[in-house]
Amino acid sequence: MSDERERGGEPATEIPTEIPTGQGKRLHPLTPWRRAWAPVAGLCAVALQNASEVRDQAQGDGLGWLLLGVAVLVLGATAYGYLSWRVTRYLVTDTELRIRTGLLFRRTAHLRLDRIQAIDISRPLLARAFGVAKLKMDVVGSGSADELAFLDDGEAADLRAELLARAAGIAPEAAPGAGEAPAHQLHQVDARMLGWSLALLGSGWGALLAAAVITPLIWLATSSVFPALAVLVPLLAAIWRGSLGAFLTQYGWTVSESPDGLRLDHGLLQRDHATVPPGRVQAVRIVEPLLWRPRGWLRVELDVAGEGNERGLLLPVATRATAIELLGRILPDVRLDETLAQVTTAPRRARWAVPVWRVGYGHGVTDAVFVARAGRLRRVHTLVPHAKVQSVRLTQGPWEQRLGLASIHVDQGANGTATARLQDAAYAADEVAAQADRSRLSRRTATPDRWLTPHPNH
């Protein structure tokens, strides 16, 4: 037996207390069945791969032994799921959420409430039928998300509201009764617009074209179906992700505003519910694919320290006016058009380093954010608020040194980096020093992590 403990992604310097015996809550009673299906599915897969051997074994007296073996396996899997459910508990204290899991290898996660970045509720199709939901917590500094799967629908909503209230700084005795904060819908993505945007991205069509051309060629060249399948299967996955799968996931994308932050609801078969707390966005990316630009469409992505919602999406597609309005809720000091107008292209001599794509690189600074631009076909502007900058670096490769160029790297709190490539070397050196000063000064007036707690400087 091992006991692994974590504290919000930070190395534990003091071993915290386990969940005391008799305390904590269990998950929904349906959870053991979720954990028991894997061995049964594995047995079915083995049986399908060895269908002829299974058929031979099922002849005569072998059928009884075969059924007995299946029954033992199912009972064993069910017993393991039940015992695993019995030892899994969670407990909310004044400062952290503790989750104990593991039957043979025990794991106790200690998630500090003030470091929780987002709490998502996920309802897969089958879970919706049984009225249960999964609660997933993203914690700053943690590489993976901890989750409680599954809870009763109402219990998941209440627990999420309590954790968000505690994370916001509400007194511990008042947090359990805080309840779900009211939300006001700001925008819902139109299904037709979503479908057109995915079609214009071209990723699904590109993968389909590759599958139609490359797979037969490999089949003809090797005279074997296996190499062709090895190429076809990843391409089919890419086709799914870039077309119907993305549409089902992003269907009904709704952005609402509440005291907890911006709420994101989406999904046709599986409904997902995420909340982005205010003041915790580390960076914003404005993505403009080539075929979207004539229509004035763009995509808004967020870095919120942690995996978060659907790959950090705020808007899968939106008009420019809608994006500007919603971006103002997150970065109220940023005027998008004025900010992007500050971006200047890399110097002309950079064409010797990247002849075609040179104009795709740019850099700009406003009083509120550092901006880096990259890409020509898929143009991406990355905006990092000065208060969220963790470090600033300057790098020069051999070719950049010869051309008198350098790149500025700005690291932010979500383990991401905004890079302004191919800048004039002297300008880049001055900009690194200036950015360090901007970040230091901005942090003095930044919103506290617990946003309902008064700022010490106010």
Q: What would the mean pLDDT of 203-211 be, rounded to a whole number?
A: 86
Q: In 10 A of CB 143, how many CB atoms?
A: 9
Residue 274 and residue 118 in contact, taking contact as beta carbons nearer than 8 Å: yes
- 374 vs 125: which has the higher pLDDT: 374
The widest CA-to-CA distance across the chain, in whole angstroms, is 85
Q: Which of 144, 117, 458 is nearest to 279 (CA)?
A: 117
Q: Summarize pLDDT for 28-86 with one digit per residue, the tens.
A: 888 777 666 666 777 777 776 676 777 776 666 677 777 787 788 878 888 888 888 88
Q: According to the model, what pLDDT value does residue 436 have? A: 93
Residues linked to residue 416 through DSSP beta bridges, in sequence order: 412
Residue 201 exposed, middle or buried by CB count within 10 Å (0-12, 13-18, 19+) = buried
* pTM of the model as a whole: 0.76
Q: According to the model, what pLDDT value does residue 83 have? A: 87
φ and ψ at 96, to 5 degrees? -155, 165
Q: Summarize pLDDT for 435-444 with one digit per residue, the tens.
A: 999 999 888 7
Distances (CA, A) of 53 to 50, 60, 314: 6, 14, 52
pLDDT at 287 over 90: yes
- 374 vs 258: which has the higher pLDDT: 374
Q: Average pLDDT of the chain?
A: 83
**Spatial distance between the Cα atoms of 159 and 177, rounded to a whole number of angstroms:** 10
Q: Which residues contact 73 (CB under 8 A, 6 or more apart)?
A: 39, 40, 43
Residues linked to residue 384 through DSSP beta bridges, in sequence order: 370
Q: According to the model, what pLDDT value does residue 13 have? A: 43
Q: Which of 427, 371, 370 is nearest to 396 (CA)?
A: 427
Q: What would the mean pLDDT of 15-26 be, rounded to a whole number?
A: 73
pLDDT grade for 5, boundaries at 50, 70 and 90: very low
Q: Summarize pLDDT for 224-254 with one digit per residue, the tens.
A: 887 888 888 889 988 898 899 999 999 999 9
Q: Which of 271, 379, 419, 264 is nearest to 330 (CA)?
A: 264
User: Is residue 356 classed as helix, strand or coil in its secondary structure?
Assistant: coil
pLDDT grade for 144, boundaries at 50, 70 and 90: low
Q: According to the model, what pLDDT value does residue 37 have? A: 67
Q: According to the model, what pLDDT value does residue 320 have? A: 94
Q: In 10 A of CB 360, how many CB atoms?
A: 19
pLDDT grade for 4, boundaries at 50, 70 and 90: very low
The pLDDT > 90 percentage for the chain reads 34
Long-range CB contacts (within 8 A, 24+) of 51-60: none
φ and ψ at 398, to 5 degrees? -60, -45
Q: Which has the minimum average pLDDT: 6-10, 308-312, 320-324?
A: 6-10
Q: According to the model, what pLDDT value does residue 233 have? A: 87
**Spatial distance between the Cα atoms of 256 and 404, rounded to a whole number of angstroms:** 48
Q: Say how many residues make up the chain.
A: 458
pLDDT at 294 over 70: yes
Q: Summarize pLDDT for 306-316 with one digit per residue, the tens.
A: 544 556 889 99
Q: Where does 413-451 show beta strands of DSSP type E?
A: 416-424
Q: Which residues contact 184 (CB under 8 A, 6 or more apart)?
A: 256, 257, 258
**Spatial distance between the Cα atoms of 142 and 71, rounded to a whole number of angstroms:** 40
Highest mean pLDDT among 93-107, 112-126, 206-220, 381-395: 381-395
**Spatial distance between the Cα atoms of 301 and 418, rounded to a whole number of angstroms:** 14
Q: According to the model, what pLDDT value does residue 394 have? A: 96
- 206 vs 142: which has the higher pLDDT: 206
pLDDT at 210 over 80: yes
Q: According to the model, what pLDDT value does residue 183 have? A: 83
Cis previous bond, 370, omega within 30? no
At 118, which helix (H) or strand (E)? strand 116-123
Q: According to the model, what pLDDT value does residue 104 have? A: 79
User: Is residue 218 classed as helix, strand or coil in its secondary structure?
Assistant: helix
Q: In 10 A of CB 212, how many CB atoms?
A: 10
pLDDT at 451 over 70: no
Q: Which residues contact 182 (CB under 8 A, 6 or more apart)?
A: 258, 259
